[in-house]
């Protein structure tokens, strides 16, 4: 049997562009032991990210004294949250009442989503980077730390705070190469019943392997500025930007 070629140089070249599992090699009809162990570790990390609870203290510590309030969705526990996505989109009534005292132009929600790992790793840092860029142009309310939350929970939170815009920073469903990916969802005039097509999303916020905190904060600030001018987000905002680009300057 001929010797198998050494794929180490190929793996090294590809790893400069992705941390996905490429060119892992083989031993007979199986994969190398090291690659199998790495796969099992990644799988365990993904499961932990989905099932772990958000620790509000860890998030609050990164907020540098900025006021915060914790809220919960209608899902009473993690198991229910995973089985009933609809409950993750509904705010507990008592929490909605407490948010009405904190009116803001911009509501920032730091939510666990499907990866509390991502939220605890990047959520507070991104929120404070946003504050640094936006505090002179927007009246920003207290950070809302949301437990058992889906993206649409931000609509009800923003509505309760009478906010012009809501930005939901939420942990995304983990994959086998990324258990700590955070996304930001931006919605103009948040209220219950908003559609996903009415949002803008910035994904793969996970330094050092994905989008950096600074890059994400800059992009969020850009979209917020355009959304305020256009009074919309989502496909309506994207369509308006495309039309303006086609028409060019007057």
- Contact (CB, 8 A) for 165 and 188: yes
Residue 199 lies in a domain: yes
Residue 247 lies in a domain: no
Residue 32 lies in a domain: yes
Domain match, 224 and 199 both: yes
Domain match, 85 and 177 both: yes
Burial category of 53 from C-beta neighbours within 10 Å (exposed 0-12, middle 13-18, buried 19 and up): exposed
Domain match, 94 and 213 both: yes
User: What pLDDT, on a 0 to 100 scale, did the predictor assign at position 39?
Assistant: 66
Domain match, 192 and 173 both: yes
Residue 95 lies in a domain: yes
Burial category of 38 from C-beta neighbours within 10 Å (exposed 0-12, middle 13-18, buried 19 and up): middle
Domain match, 13 and 67 both: no
> Where in the sequence is the domain holding 31, given as residue range(s)?
7-51
Residue 250 lies in a domain: no
Domain match, 220 and 125 both: yes
Domain match, 151 and 127 both: yes
Give the list of residues 6+ apart from residue 61 with CB closer than 8 angstroms, or none: 124
User: What pLDDT, on a 0 to 100 scale, did the predictor assign at position 249?
Assistant: 45
User: What pLDDT, on a 0 to 100 scale, did the predictor assign at position 225?
Assistant: 95
Residue 172 lies in a domain: yes
Q: Name the domain count of the chain.
A: 2
Local confidence pLDDT in tens for the 250 residues of the chain: 455 555 567 666 766 666 666 667 777 777 777 777 776 776 677 676 666 778 888 899 999 999 999 999 999 999 999 999 999 999 998 898 888 776 789 999 999 999 999 999 999 999 999 999 999 999 999 999 999 999 999 999 999 999 999 999 999 987 766 778 999 999 999 999 999 999 999 999 999 889 999 999 999 999 999 999 999 999 999 765 544 444 444 4
**Residue 190: CATH number of its domain:** 3.40.50.11240
Domain match, 36 and 111 both: no
Domain match, 17 and 95 both: no
């Amino acid at each position: 049997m001929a010797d198998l070629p050494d794929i180490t140089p190929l793996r090294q070249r590809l790893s400069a562009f992705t941390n996905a599992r490429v060119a892992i090699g083989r031993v007979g009809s199986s994969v190398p032991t090291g690659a199998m162990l790495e796969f099992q570790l990644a799988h365990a990390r993904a499961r932990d990210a989905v099932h772990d609870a958000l620790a509000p203290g860890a998030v609050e510590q990164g907020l540098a004294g900025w006021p915060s309030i914790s809220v919960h969705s209608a899902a009473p526990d993690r198991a229910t949250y995973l089985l009933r996505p609809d409950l993750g989109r509904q705010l507990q009534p008592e929490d909605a009442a407490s948010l009405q005292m904190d009116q803001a132009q911009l509501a920032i929600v730091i939510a666990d989503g499907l990866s509390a790992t991502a939220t605890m790793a990047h959520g507070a840092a991104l929120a404070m980077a946003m504050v640094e860029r936006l505090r002179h142009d927007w009246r920003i309310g207290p950070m809302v730390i949301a437990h058992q939350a889906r993206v649409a929970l931000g609509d009800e939170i923003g509505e309760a705070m009478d906010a012009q815009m809501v930005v939901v920073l939420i942990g995304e469903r983990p994959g086998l190469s990324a258990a700590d990916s955070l996304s930001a969802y931006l919605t103009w005039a948040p209220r219950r019943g908003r559609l996903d097509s009415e949002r803008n999303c910035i994904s793969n916020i996970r330094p050092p392997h994905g989008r950096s905190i600074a890059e994400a904060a800059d992009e969020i600030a850009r979209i917020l500025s355009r959304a305020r001018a256009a009074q919309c987000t989502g496909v309506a905002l994207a369509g308006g930007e495309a039309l303006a680009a086609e028409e060019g300057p007057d």
